[in-house]
Chains A and B, each alone.
Chain A
């Protein structure tokens, strides 16, 4: 299995800040990487697929980058509704998720 290490595990930022979350894979996985947002008590929602493609309906302040083993999710101009936990997920070898990054708004 490919292990996905996500960091930081939590962060607190102000409205308008730019936030970056990183996901590192235990081995090469091309761009088979997706990002999700999960609000408390709700199912995750897909934000980014194929490392950098924006899912339909997702605001363009969300962006993804990376390939190989290192990936990042950037939220530009953080909004109050962006609180929640963010997960990366790989599908290069089986399917595994990162441990999550909890984003709080200051």
Chain B
């Protein structure tokens, strides 16, 4: 059973960088046909995909956030991380890490429990 767990600060000051880590157990981030993703959800709103890292280390990002987002991996710790620069109050959301599995489409079959991050002034 794959398990994902987000960690990081719950409060980030405006204009600073949000940094979160996802620790994966029960599976390796460097093997298999999987994309390790970050997804966020503002309170009472829908889901927004932010970016992903593939098992070979390649990355893809949401075009609307591309200049602010970076996803990286640490295979020695079986973790992947999110950095979001120039944070504002609009970045306040629950942030999820998730595993993307490819069949025809890419679907998210395992999710972390989520971590609430507030961007404050």
Interface residues, chain A, with chain B CB atoms under 8 Å away: 1, 30-34, 36, 42-46, 49-51, 53, 55, 87, 89-92, 94-100
Contact A46 B62 (CB under 8 A): no
State the main secondary structure of chain A at its contact with B.
loop
Interface residues, chain B, with chain A CB atoms under 8 Å away: 37, 46-49, 60, 62-64, 96, 98, 101, 103-109, 111-114
Contact A32 B104 (CB under 8 A): yes
Contacts of A95 in B (CB 8 A): 37, 49, 62, 106
Contacts of A49 in B (CB 8 A): 101, 103, 105, 107, 109
Compute how far the CA of A30 lies from the CA of B103 in the bound complex, rounded to whole angstroms.
13
Contacts of A55 in B (CB 8 A): 107, 109
Q: Which of B37, B103, B108 has the most CB of A within 10 A?
A: B108
Contact A53 B103 (CB under 8 A): yes
